[in-house]
Structure 1
Amino acid sequence: MSENKKTKEIVEKYMETITIPPIPGHAESTKTLVAKMIDHPAYNNPNYEWSANDFEWGKKLGEGAFGKVFLARDRRSRFVVAIKTLLKKKIVEKGAEKQVVREIEIQSHLKHPNILQLLAWFHDSHRIYLVLEYANKGQLYTRLKRFGRFDNHHAAKYVYQVADALEYCHQNHVIHRDIKPENLLLTITDDVKVADFGWSVHSPSMKRNTRCGTLDYLPPEMIDGKDYRHHVDNWCLGILCYEFLHGRAPFATKAVADTCRRIKMRDLHFDKHISDNAKNFINRLVVLKGEKRMSLKEVMKHPWIMEWVNPNKGKK
């Protein structure tokens, strides 16, 4: 099989899993747009050099430590994307060169329906551009703050999808290390896309000792500076579920030292409205010893997940 044909088949298979947002004033069907994207010279020529001029630039979607994220559309295919721009000067100032390279390398190789796809990347004298799949509904964090907390159905659905994405990452020896609502995006069909692999790491031995991530979500082994494995993501998933159902992280305080102390003591308390199944689910993930935490395969079969993600159940 030729390399071009193989590439087209891979892209076609992947395109079946992602949502292409409607383009106002554009009458072409989704299939036509997909065909155009596949026939784009970038997919037939591994040496194709992207540039900012390949895109029509739209509104700013967000801002990060190294730059901004914009809505954009490929001029040739009319395919809508999000472009993350990173200022090289800021990257160098913060000594984050390795972090950015790692993000690009890891995210460009991950292909999963619940992971935000890095479609392409390029750079000029001042910036690095990451061309990303566009998730129409934005940050899950924004949705959570708007509603205060999620009901069991939405919480279980989102947790299940994140668990599925993390299981895929772990199978490919990738630890995300920064799972939190701000790093999860929502599509037009209300499905989760795990994003921001800036703190992720490819570690075939699955053993690390670098402290990173967000304090409220840090597991005890990271706080203590001990070696850790992929189980750190399982802890974060438990904290995520707790925040979905309560509207707040379980160990957060105003003082860093107090938050660290509560994490290491596992000072965990539940509100009265939390069901026994949900408590059991969280308790089996928020466990001090990493190897004792519930596996992601068990997560997806847990009674609380099965009760609320079951398609036969009424959905709100």
Structure 2
Amino acid sequence: MAKSSGKDFTPRARGHRLNLNRLIRDPTTGSLYYRGDSLGKGAFAKSYQLIEVATNKILAVKVMPLSRAPGAHQREEIEKEIELHSTLHHRNVVSYYHHFEDTENIYIILEYCSRKTLAHILKARKVLTEPEARHYLRQIVSGLKYLHHKGIVHRDLKLSNLFVNKNMEVKIGDFGLATKLEEQKRGIICGTRSYLAPEVLSMRRHVYKSDIWALGCVFYTMLSGHLPFKISDIKDTYQMLREAKYSIPNSLSPAAQHLTASLLAKNPEDRPSLDEIIQHDFFTQGLTPENLSPSCCYTSPTVSTSKNLLERAGKYFFRKKKGNKRFPDHPENFPIEQDEVINLSRGLKMLKANEQCKIRHNGSEVGEGEMEKMVPISPVYPLSKTQPPVGQDQLEPNYTHQVRVLARGTLGSRNSGSKCEGDCTVESIVDSVARVLKGCLENMPEGDQNPEDQLNCSLLWVTKWIDYSNKYGFGYQLSDSSTGILLNNGSHMTLLPHAKSVCCCTELGHWSVFPMTDVPRQLSEQLTVLQFFTQYMEEHLMQVNFYHDHTKIILCNHEEEYVLTFINRDRMNATFRLSTLLLCGCSAEVRRRMEYTYWMLQQL
């Protein structure tokens, strides 16, 4: 009996109990295979894991009994599938290797995808996150674009025909119903009922946009956990399909809802092209992970919130300890850069309120992104009970109450005297900001332009960050180009904007500023790490924007009152008191971004 060279027989080595009935011999080449576990079954075929005995290589095989293809027509369809699939070579298409037949079956040997299909993943997960959907959808679109370029319409695109390999790459498979568009016969309805496009039912003919409709059904199901058209009665299902009658869950983001409606448009001409799909806001305004962990097959992806470091940073900058002042009583004792140090420390009170998927870089977990549509947070002071902020005395009573409620019970500060040691977590910060936005949006009147009453103040916010806390710490870059690192030992070092001075803060809260040429030897190692982080962020970190036009929303506290800064696509910024927005409203452009920011915060 054939053996793998010098090794135990492959099936037994892999844990299979040897069953001679599972041996398959290719009569044309003499190659010997062992049929492994079942991978699934369709209407006319079954799929199995296949082990090539001579090489130990794991493959997949589609087995079609000859008894299911007694006539010339059935045989012709099988040969057509083999002929078409054998010409396809693309990263996102299941690879075809070989085919043969014996006296009982026809065997099509294919690439093995160990993670099975997206249907299996969704069954375990129920729903997927939007970053995951982007990851998968990009690859499906890439594969579809290849097929359409070759004049092929798939006609049966669905979750169970989207295979996933060990690297979590999606591959389009099962070309039993695929055909060249010009060779398609009219009057035939084929495919899976719940994925059929309206034009297939009415014209009885598939077009390229029919595959895009099916892609819309896949996308909808990924994010909602159920098909848009799935009811028990066949007649009602067909009626809903013809009319494109479905509802979009409110749990989807605005961009996801818009893309779903576009993909599932009744008229094929109204559906986006494959290129337009990738250019949609759903992709340009959100992060697409470069890769996913295999654990995503059964659990939500791990996100890099740098929770421990961020909580330590929050406690450090917001807490108040007796006998431990953050700054000397006399700022004039600082070196010449005292204002820069103070401004920088204030800027660091802004914590990131957006979670990004973990991205691998050279074997290390590196968070990567730019806080373009994020919420920098300064300490939140309770509004003064003796002197209302400017403009608040003109507010109606319910608005005044609303503003006070928003401020009460949120973050304390080093000046407020409130207890904040246990409250300044990422979750509490996000919750506070979300409540502020919600209160403003629910009570703000409709407006067609922004208020003329603007504040003249400058803010700092985090533009880039890198999480290397498994070795060194958490690095960041601010909007004035200064950089810093929160080290694992609790110390904090920053490089001021002109890169000529270094500011260092020990765990005890003592600040020191040194020229770059005169940094103490005991800090040289930390400085080296800081310089590495600075160079890495400058050279490697891409900018990830929630809005492709680079607009930004910044919410913070200024002189004991909430303010909102909007930076438009021309990089011009305008800052408004929330009390002013509650009274006068704002432009639709600003309101939409406030609503989107609120939705993003709810997802964290």
State the shift of 1:268 in Å.
2.1
Tell me which residue corresponds to 1:237: 215
Q: Does 1:315 find its partner at 2:357?
A: yes
- Provide, for residues 57-100 of structure 1, a one-character-per-residue CA deviation record: whole Å limited to 9, x for no partner: 32222233334222122233332101111101112379533332
Q: Quote the offset at 1:238 in angstroms.
A: 0.8
1:131 corresponds to: 109
CA distance in 1, matches of 2:40, 2:183: 35
Partner of 2:89: 111
- Tell me what 2:162 maps to: 184
Cα distance per residue 1:27-49 (max 9 Å; x no partner): xxxxxxxxxxxxxxx9xxxxx93
Structure 2 residue corresponding to 1:81, chosen from 59, 62, 70:
59
Deviations 1:155-199 (A, max 9, x none): 121111111101100000110011111111111111111111111
Name the structure 2 match of 1:148.
Answer: 126
Per the alignment, do residues 230 and 189 of structure 1 end up closer, same or farther by CA in structure 2, a change over 3 Å counting?
same
Please identify the structure whose Cα radius of gyration is greater.
2
In structure 2, distance between residues paired with 1:134 and 1:71: 7
The residue type paired with residue 60 of structure 2 is A
1 CA distance for matches of 2:37 and 2:73? 29
Q: 99-108 or 193-202: which moved more?
A: 99-108
- Sequence identity, in percent? 27
Corresponding position of 1:268: 246
Structure 1 counterpart of 2:139: 161
- Superposed CA RMSD in Å reads 2.6
Question: Take 2:162 and 2:72, find their aligned partners in 1: how far apart are those partners?
Answer: 24
Q: Is the CA contact 1:176–1:233 (under 8 Å) kept in the aligned structure 2?
A: yes
Secondary structure, aligned partner of 2:287: helix
2:274 aligned residue: 296
Alignment match, 1:99: 77
Cα distance change of structure 1 residues 24 and 137 upon mapping to structure 2, 3 Å threshold = farther
Partner residue, 2:229: 251
Q: Measured at CA, do residues 206 and 128 of structure 1 come closer, stay the same or move farther in structure 2, by a change above 3 Å?
A: closer
Contact 1:173 1:206 in 2 (8 A): no
Matches of 1:215 and 1:94, distance apart in 2? 26
1:116-172 deviation per Cα after TM superposition (whole angstroms, max 9, x unaligned): 111111111221101110000112111101111111011121111111101100000
Distance of 2:106 and 2:253 partners within structure 1: 46
For structure 1, list consecutive stretches of 5 or more residues without a partner in the other structure. Answer: 1-22, 27-41, 43-47
TM (norm. structure 1) is: 0.79
In 2, Cα distance between equivalents of 1:110 and 1:179: 16
Question: Which stretch of structure 1 is more off in the superposition, 228-237 or 207-216?
Answer: 207-216
Shift of 1:228: 3.8
- For structure 2, the residue ranges without an aligned partner over 5 or more in a row are 1-10, 15-25, 292-354, 359-604
Tell me the residue number matched to 1:49: 28
1:61 aligns with 2:61: no
Aligned twin of 2:190: 212
1 CA distance for matches of 2:184 and 2:209?
A: 9
**Aligned partners of 1:173 and 1:202 also within 8 Å:** yes
Structure 2 contact 220–260 (Cα < 8 Å) conserved: yes
Match of 2:589 in 1: none
Contact 2:153/2:206, CA 8 A, preserved across alignment: no
Are the counterparts in 1 of residues 38 and 47 from structure 2 also a CA contact under 8 Å?
yes
Q: Tell me if structure 1 keeps the 8 A contact 2:155–2:206.
A: no
Q: Which moved more, 1:306-315 or 1:75-84?
A: 306-315
Quick one: distance in 1 between partners of 2:181 and 2:253?
A: 37
Contact 1:157 1:305 in 2 (8 A): no
1:305 aligns with 2:292: no
Q: TM-score, normalised by structure 2?
A: 0.43
Q: Is the 8 A contact 2:135 2:290 kept in 1?
A: no
Closer/same/farther in 2, CA of residues 223 and 190 from structure 1, 3 Å limit: same
- Structure scoring higher RCO (CA < 8 A, sep ≥ 6) equals 1
Q: Secondary structure at the match of 2:38?
A: strand
Aligned amino acid, residue 103 of structure 1: E
1:285 aligns with 2:327: no
Shift of 1:235: 0.6
Q: Which amino acid aligns with 1:114?
A: N
> Following the alignment from structure 2 to structure 1, what is the Cα–Cα distance between the partners of residues 171 and 191?
18
Separation (CA, whole Å) in 2 of partners of 1:159 and 1:74? 32
Q: Identify the residue that residue 90 of structure 1 maps to in structure 2.
A: 68
Tell me how far 1:305 sits from its aligned partner: 2.3
Q: For 2:13 and 2:356, locate their aligned partners in 1 and report how far apart those are by CA, in whole Å.
A: 35
Look up the SS of the partner of 2:37 in the other structure: strand
94 and 305 in structure 1: CA distance in 2 versus 1, 3 angstrom threshold: farther
Tell which deviates more after alignment, 257-266 or 58-67.
58-67
Give the length in aligned residue pairs.
273
**Distance in 1 between the 2:261 and 2:207 partners?**
19
Which AA in structure 2 matches 1:145?
Answer: K
Query: Which stretch has the larger CA shift, 127-136 or 301-310?
Result: 301-310
